[in-house]
Every structure is written in structure tokens, then in C-alpha cells.
Amino acid sequence: MQESWRWFGPSDSISLEKIKQAGATHIVTSMHDIPTGDIWPETEVIARNEKIKASGLCWNVVESIPLHNDIKTRSGNYLELIENYKESIRSVGKAGIPAVCYNFMPVVDWTRTNLSYRMPNSSQALRFELTDFAAYDVYMLKRQGAELDYTQAVLEKAKSRFSEMGEQEQLLLEKNIIAGLPGGEGSYTRESIKVAIEQFIALGTEGLRHNLIEFLKAVVPVAEQSGVKLCIHPDDPPFSLFGLPRVVSTAEDVRKILTAVDSAANGITLCAGSYGARCDNDLVAMAEEFGPRIYFVHLRNVKREEDGSFYESDHLDGDNDMVGLINALLKEERRRKQAGESLVSIPMRPDHGHLMADEEKSEGVKPGYSYMGRLRGLAELRGVIHALKHLNT
């Protein structure tokens, strides 16, 4: 497996040199300075790739080329935006970068309610708390019909929780939910998010799925011609928020995506933490079923709670069978090698990490993307990979 690290570009406080010191050999990054919907110029992508190469690292996955909401709703100037997306794929292909991770989440990207959840060892993790989310949705955002999306037990807890919140705690919760998290796309105000939510609710699940498939029909042929694999990231969390439709949350969702556009260039990102936030997603079975179309892996673990809440645990200490998942992925790599396929080694990265030690005092550390937390995660995952390879030789 290709040991990779997410880098947020030249402005990232974690330098390419530090990434090499962590033992990573590959970089996962994006052109963060280019506005969503604009074309990625070939010259700029190549220049960024040359900078990464000069550091002794290899850019193996674009994460991501963000999709404008107009593409997801097929409204506004979506046709022009799709053409721009095609050009960006061509630029990536000409730069020799083999994969593009993207997502089709409506309105909000990956969502957490608490960015500094205190763990037993005093490090800080990311957490999604359903009670807090419901408190925001029903009592702060006051979304029409919101109370219909929660059980009575959750509503009662949310009401009590909201009554205990001070103004600053309320504002922090809102910021965590709608202001945009690292690698996500954009931010909203309370009023603008209501408008966006209503648009996607009106579209519905099948409408959103239809728009995803139409997008893939348009761009997958370009990816094929450019030598680029597209790998869709799952919804995070993999269930409805704000009553919004979800179309990349389960194994059945994946089957529909891969079947609708049956091309080797149409693949998936197996994010263990996202899919694993649902207890009915069997990650090992998904790796075995979809192995040939897995082009990128996020190795992250979670501890699930009965009401749908979860927090991000240590990489090897959660409800997901990380050892079993890695073993299935290594098995897929062996299959590819025996079949003589060109793309054998699967890019992986330690996804998110706890905030710990001196980094707690540092400014500018992106939630989930601390250096020490991810370094620890990568080291643990590397140990599992080496042990399994040894056992299978």
C-alpha cells in the first residue's frame, strides 16, 4: 500500500519535509486556492506536482476537485461547470496524477459537532453528537419540519441540551456544523444554508442519485482518456442530516454507482471512518466485493453509539475491524499483481488524528489534521501492514 499524507498546500503548517520524516512516501492534496467550479490550469497543476517531486515525494491522489452545488442540483450554469470539471481532469492526467477523490454530499461536507472531544488520555478527538446536532437543527436553525426527523427521545434530550447552552456554546456549535471543516467545501450563514437545504430536499434521494449518474456519464469518458481513476468519497456521516438525501452511504449505494457507469475509471474511496459510522456496513465485505474498483483508502476508526453518535477513536481501537480491512486490501493487491494489472498498490492515508501533547498549544492546527496524531496513526497502520505481509509470504 502507498503510505500517503494529506497536505493542504504551501500554506500548510506541516511541511513536505515533516511529512517525509513521518515516513510517508506519497502526497494527497488539492489546488486549494482555485475557486470551486473554475478550471485547474494545466501549468499550475504541473508546477505543484514538480514542487512535490522536488521534495522526494509523489502526488498520487487529488483530494479533491470540489463539485459546485449547481452540478449536484443540475441547475444554474451546471453544463459549463461540468465542462470545467472535464478540463481539470485533463490537467490532472497531463500532470501524471493517477486518481481524483471527490464527493457528492449535498450542502454540508463532512460534519462534526465537537472538534475537541476529550479522550481518556486527555488527547482531543472529533465527535458527532446527535443530540447536539438536533438541538441546532430544531432550536437554532429552526428548519421547517426538522422535528419530524428525530425520535421523541432525541427531541427531549435536544431540548434539554439546548436550554443548558450559553450563547458562546451555541455559536461554537453552529460554527462547527456550517462554517466548513478542513478539506470541505465552503461555509454558510444560517439563512443561506436553509435555502440550500430546501433545494436538495426537493430534489430527493433518487433525484440526487440521477444527477450523480449523469455527472459520471459526462466525466468518466474524459477520465478514461486522461488515465485518471475517479474515486467517490462516501457521505460523512453516512446518514441524512437536515433531512437531506444521501446517495453514497451503503454498499447498495456503491453497487448502483458502479453499475450505472460500468467503467474501470469509475471507482470508490473506501473511507473506513465514514462507512464505518453505520453498524450495517461490513467494511471487510465491502473491500472484498468492490476491491477491483477501490482506488483510494482512508484508514480511520470510530466508536459508535446507539443513537447514531460517534467519535473518532485511535486508529486500531474502534468498532471497525482495521486489521481485517487491511488484510482484505492486501489480498486485493496480490490479486492485481497476479493479474498483471498496472495499478497494483492502493493509496492509503491515516485519516484524521487526535490532537495531543504540545500541539494543543499550537495555533493553526486543522481539526483532525494534527501532525502527531496522524504520525501515530500512520505508524500503527504501517505495523499492521508489515505484520500481515509477513504472515502472507
Catalytic residues: 233, 271, 298, 351-352, 369
CA pair distance 203, 170, nearest whole angstrom: 30
CA pair distance 111, 127, nearest whole angstrom: 9
User: In Å, how far are 89, 101, 274, 342, 393 from 60, measured between CA atoms?
Assistant: 14, 11, 21, 14, 27
Sheet holding 310-312, edge to edge: 114-118, 124-128, 310-312, 302-304
Helix (H) or strand (E) holding 313: none
Radius of gyration of the chain (CA): 20
- 349: which strand partners? 298
| Type of residue at 58 | C
CA pair distance 228, 90, nearest whole angstrom: 8
- Nearest CA to 99 among 277, 270, 327? 270
**Please, what sign has the CA dihedral across residues 7, 9, 13, 19?**
positive
Q: Are 269 and 101 in contact (CB under 8 A)?
A: yes
Q: Classify 347 as helix, strand or coil.
A: strand
Helix (H) or strand (E) holding 271: strand 266-271
Instruction: Write out the three cell numbers for 330.
Output: 492486501
